[in-house]
């Protein structure tokens, strides 16, 4: 239902892949291929974990 430009923009939102995965698990239908959903969720989780690791490693904004 979105114009083509906004369809492209929504693909950068990780929640789209989570919702698509839930739709597939409940109904067997998905807007995005399941493998792409799993890859996007895995990549997003890896980026978040890398950011957390960096914050803990450097002690960013910790008070002494």
How many CB atoms within 10 Å of residue 20? 20
Mean pLDDT of the chain: 92
- Per-residue pLDDT reduced to its tens digit, 27-45: 999 989 999 999 999 999 9
Task: Report CA-CA distances (Å) from 13 to 2, 7, 44.
Answer: 15, 11, 10
pLDDT value at 16 more than 90: yes
Q: For residue 64, is pLDDT > 70?
A: no
Q: What is the pLDDT of residue 53?
A: 95
Residue 24 has pLDDT above 90, yes or no: yes
Domain boundaries, the chain: 4-58
């Amino acid at each position: 239902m979105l114009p083509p430009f906004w369809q492209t923009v929504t693909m950068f939102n990780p929640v789209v892949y989570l919702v698509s995965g839930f739709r597939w698990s409940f109904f067997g239908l998905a807007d995005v291929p399941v493998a792409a959903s799993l890859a996007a969720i895995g990549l997003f989780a890896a980026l978040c974990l890398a950011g957390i690791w960096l914050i803990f490693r450097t002690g960013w904004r910790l008070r002494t």
